[in-house]
Amino acid sequence: MESSLQQPERRLSKKAVRVWVITSIIEQFINVAVLGVLYYLDQRFSWPQWVNWILIGLVVLVVLSAVWSVFISPWLTYRVWRYDVNDEFLQLKRGAIREVHHIVPMTKIQSIATKQGPFLRKYGLLTLTIKTLNSEHEIPALPEDTAIDVRNLIARYAKIKEVEE
């Protein structure tokens, strides 16, 4: 009995790109602030010349990292991330350069959790975390209503009981 799986078709929310861009801008701002402090200390205490060269190299890396993480990575991630749920499997597919396709049997899923940080909350998004015995998988940045529906669907297929805390 051979069963062929369809490629996952469901996409993340387009608002995810905004959240990832904002998060990346904050991360890059922190990188620039740290480099600024190091540059100030270099000038103030007249560190050896090789430290200055290292700082210049770090500036180049931070600029390249900023271009990648703010302008390229969020759009690329959104474009390639797919997921799907059926009564047998949860499928997660991502990666532009190195494609990763996880197929998680519903019988192996032990719990499902939702996460929502301040930026996700501002844009009405949730991240689903699916745990199995050996691994943890995430479906990032789903609209709240979709995330709740997917969570309940996976819970029903995996026969997960809700526990009162």
pLDDT tens, residue by residue, 85-96: 999 999 999 998
Per DSSP, which regions of the chain are E strands? 82-85, 89-94, 100-105, 109-115, 125-132, 136-143
Q: What's the whole-number mean pLDDT along residues 112-137?
A: 96
**What pLDDT was estimated at residue 60?**
97
- pTM attached to this predicted model: 0.87
Q: What's the whole-number mean pLDDT along residues 66-89?
A: 96
For residue 90 the two structure tokens come to 């949860």
**What pLDDT was estimated at residue 6?**
86
**What pLDDT was estimated at residue 159?**
85
CA 28 to CA 14: how far, in whole Å?
Answer: 22
State how beta strands 109-115 and 125-132 pair. antiparallel
Answer yes or no: is pLDDT of 3 > 90.
no
For residue 157 the two structure tokens come to 């297929």
Give the lowest-confidence range in 31-45, 133-147, 148-162. 148-162
**What pLDDT was estimated at residue 1?**
38
- What is the percent of the chain where pLDDT is above 70? 95
